[in-house]
Amino acid sequence: TTTTTTTSPPPSSAGGSDLRVIVRPLQGEVMSVKARLGTSVQDLKALIFSSGGPPVVEQRLLFRGIELSNHPLETVEKSGIRDGDTVNLIRVIQSSAQER
């Protein structure tokens, strides 16, 4: 008898089938993250962080030359990202001392 274990995706990434997003940083190695069409851009950034990328607040994601919105309703699907597409990652380090 063969047993197959299937894990459900977290609720925040619900919506649609799994897809692979290629993340290409300006520096460092290219990585691949699994997401769903209904995954928000914020959750995509969290997936990138958990895969070894920079902290979410330091990430700027560009797809086809346009920065992806951090709006809570902005999803992978609404951004036009499809399975195997590449997103460019720019790391922005903010200096809290200069902001005050």
- What is the tens place of the pLDDT at every residue in 15-40? 568 999 999 999 889 999 999 999 99
CA-closest candidate to residue 59, choices 33, 98, 97: 33
* pTM summary value: 0.78
- Short-list 49, 92, 40, CA closest to 68: 40
Rounded Cα distance, 63 and 81, in Å:
8
State the pLDDT confidence band at 94, using cuts at 50, 70 and 90.
confident
Span 75-86, pLDDT tens digits: 999 999 999 999
> Which CATH number does 14-92 carry?
3.10.20.90
> In three state form, how does the secondary structure of 35-76 look?
EECCCEHHHHHHHHHHCCCCCHHHEEEEECCEECCCCCCCEC
User: For residue 96, what pLDDT is reported?
Assistant: 66
